[in-house]
Chain A
Amino acid sequence: MIAVGWRRTRHKSPLVERVPLWRGVLAWIVALVVFFPVLYIFVTGFKSEQNALGLPPTIIPTTDGGFPLSFPFTTENYAAILAPERNFVSFFTNSVLTVAASGLLVMLMAIPCAYALSWKRRGQNRDILFFFLSTKFLPAVGVIIPLFVIARDLKLIDQPITLIIMYTSMNLPIAIWMLRSFFDEVPKDVLDACQVDGANTRQELFSVALPMITPGLVATLFICSIFAWNEFFFALNLVATRAATVPLFMIGFETSEGLFWAKLAAAGTMAMLPVVVIGWAAQRSLVRGMSMGAVK
């Protein structure tokens, strides 16, 4: 499509050359400033509540907080958040379950669909692709009211299946567009060779095409997991306690009158870390997912 992008094999361009030292230093300074809020949330989780409010901000964990910018390291906040009465583990398990189940459902529907759209060239393909695109651009607030009313009438409020259904529909268009763009990259000769050998569609898909796009498959699953894990709006409106996911756990800190920043930071770290790590691993595919495969 419009770009070649970062492939791992991209040749080293002679023009993208080393630049003067100050440009590298500037890039590092900007990156550290941009990253600071994340770092600060992370380290604050290991402070005592009192130290969490201390200024100037401390960022180096030590045993006694003896030198500048350092604080005494403690894991008491993690212990407090993970204590049985706060139920964090149940929120976390719900998130894992919801993300995994919706990821599986998305893949079950998106793989055959993307394969058909990529390999069986027909006039209707374009319309179907753009239909999926338009469903992605339908804002959640445009559908939430009927969904809430229907879920209420069907007694589906606060059931895990409700969020699984919503996250599947939210990620389905992304997965179809991404997977199609990966299938498009499989050389045409490979498929032609299969057909000469008399392979049927199923054999083509499972023994030839899918193995060739395994990295793309993993990337797509990662991208879908990131969006589902972080999703807040549907969770807030459609589940309450039984099926509540990690973002809902964080609401407790929105209203807190006492300043429980260290506990907020510990919970926030556990909430964001899984997906930040997955995102780092999938960063080369992130833009492809967000742009529906248009930018590679």
Chain B
Amino acid sequence: MALSAPAANATRIPILSGLFDWVRGNLLLAPALIYAIVITQAPFLLTIWFSLQKWNLLRPENSRFNGIGNYIDLFQTDEFVSALINTVALTASVVLISLVVGLFYAELVNHRFPGRGIVRTLLITPFLVMPVVGALGWKNMLLNPIFGVLDWLITSLGGPRVDWFAQFPLPSIIIIVIWRWAPFMMLILLAGMQALSDEVREAGRVDGATAMQEFRFIVLPHLRRYMQLGILLGTIYVLSEFDSIAMTTQGGPGNATMNLPYLIYRTVFYSYDVGHAAAMGVVVVVLTFIFATYLIRMLGRLMEGNR
């Protein structure tokens, strides 16, 4: 009885009754779908709404609708513009260098040698390490100018002492994030290498291709799709990089390592400026969706090719 009551009500409202019928016909799908809509789409729509408000949690009485005022403000503040540039620089360098390093890792373990399984396991480990712990370990034990292993290595080889986070703040972050993402690229490229049919490689050898030529003219072109996939997925995830910055420089020195996710965090939780933070959130989502759209199209093509 309890169940039939809303049904009876719903039939009076066409949209609701349509929705109700759909849910009843899709009982397996409905819970997950409704959950995802409520927890992800609704907050995002609210973010857009908040981004149009002048709203500071400390002075709620001054709140008012502000149109695109917050967005105009953003592009006139140096902090936002430099965070936008840092975000793009961080993401682009991490993704591209990780791709090259990952290709190197993958080529190393794509052949049989004693302990290959262990080597592959060691290589993927950085991706599994809790990012917060990885960043703290790098910051202290490896990149510390006095007690760090890297500086010890450089100075014992006769090089200069480097204060990484003071002299090269953004590159230091980039190194930590590459360490984490290169294994991911390796996994994708390795899957690609192993999908390359032996006949093709064999044909190359029969034609007298050297190992280098085989790699350049057979393996690399074959890997193109996998590289695209790695670049798109990597970009989407690295655009939101937060942990390594929060645990090392917190955006500093100055704004040298401030990216958009960290600036949003600071704007909400230090300045309580909901309106501007929401506007920045929308900018990150737009940036992400430029790449996500390509990725979704690519996955769609792959899906069709498979059916």
Residue ranges of A at the interface with B (Cβ–Cβ < 8 Å): 1-6, 10, 13-19, 23-24, 26-28, 30-32, 34-38, 40-41, 44, 53, 55-57, 108-110, 112-113, 115-117, 120, 126, 128, 130-135, 137-150, 165-166, 168-169, 172-173, 176, 201, 226, 229-230, 232-233, 236-237, 246-247, 250-251, 253-254, 259, 261, 264-265, 268, 271-272, 275-276, 278-280, 283, 286-287, 290-292, 294-296
**B198 and A38 within 8 A (CB):** no
Is B31's CB under 8 angstroms from A139's CB?
A: no
Residues of chain B within 8 A of A53, CB atoms compared? 147
Describe B's contact surface by its main secondary structure: helix
SS of A interface (majority): helix
Question: From residue A138, how far is it (CB to closest CB) to chain B in Å?
Answer: 6
Instruction: Report the separation of the CA atoms of residues A295 and B174 in the bound assembly, to the nearest whole angstrom.
Output: 26
If A55-B152, A172-B32 touch, whether A141 touches B142 (CB-CB below 8 Å) is no
Residues of B with C-beta under 8 A to A10: 194
CB distance from B255 to the nearest CB of A (A): 17
- Whether A1 contacts B191 by the Cβ 8 Å rule is no
Chain B residues with CB under 8 A of A264: 136-137, 140
Query: Counting chain A CB atoms within 10 Å of each CB, which of B133, B187, B198 scores highest?
Result: B133
Cross-chain contact of B292 among A18, A26, A137, A226 (Cβ < 8 A): A137
Known contacts: A27-B109, A40-B137, A141-B240. The answer to whether A294 contacts B229 by CB under 8 A is: yes
B35 adjacent to A279 (CB under 8 Å): no
Which among B26, B111, B124, B225 is the interface contact of A286 at CB below 8 angstroms?
A: B124
Could you say which of A2, A137, A138, A142 contacts B302, with CB atoms under 8 Å apart? Answer: A2
B94 within 8 A of A: no
Ordered by A's residue number, 27 sampled pairs between the chains whose C-beta atoms are within 8 Å are: A2-B192, A2-B225, A2-B305, A5-B191, A28-B119, A36-B149, A40-B141, A41-B141, A130-B296, A130-B299, A141-B264, A142-B44, A143-B40, A145-B278, A146-B42, A176-B32, A201-B28, A250-B247, A272-B129, A272-B133, A283-B120, A286-B187, A287-B187, A287-B191, A290-B184, A292-B299, A295-B187
The residue in chain B whose Cβ has the minimal distance to the Cβ of A54 is: B147
Among A148, A169, A232, contact of B39 (Cβ-Cβ < 8 Å): A169
Docked pose: A112 CA to B156 CA in angstroms: 60
Min C-beta distance of A129 to chain B, whole Å: 8
The docked-state distance in angstroms from the alpha carbon of A166 to that of B149 is: 38
Q: Would you list which residues of chain B between 71 and 110 have a CB under 8 Å from chain A?
A: 104-105, 108-110
In the complex, the answer to whether A247 meets B132 with C-beta atoms within 8 Å is: yes
Instruction: Select which of B112, B128, B300 is within 8 A of A130 by beta carbon.
Output: B300
Interface centre among B39, B236, B300 (most CB of A within 10 A): B39
Q: B113 and A295: CB pair below 8 A?
A: no
State in angstroms the CA–CA spacing of A201 and B28 once bound together: 10
| Contact of A232 (CB < 8 Å), options: B242, B277, B288 | B242
> What residues of chain A lie closer than 8 Å to B31, measured between beta carbons?
108-109, 112-113
Q: Is B188 an interface position by the 8 A CB rule?
A: yes
Tell me the minimal C-beta distance from B93 to chain A in angstroms.
18
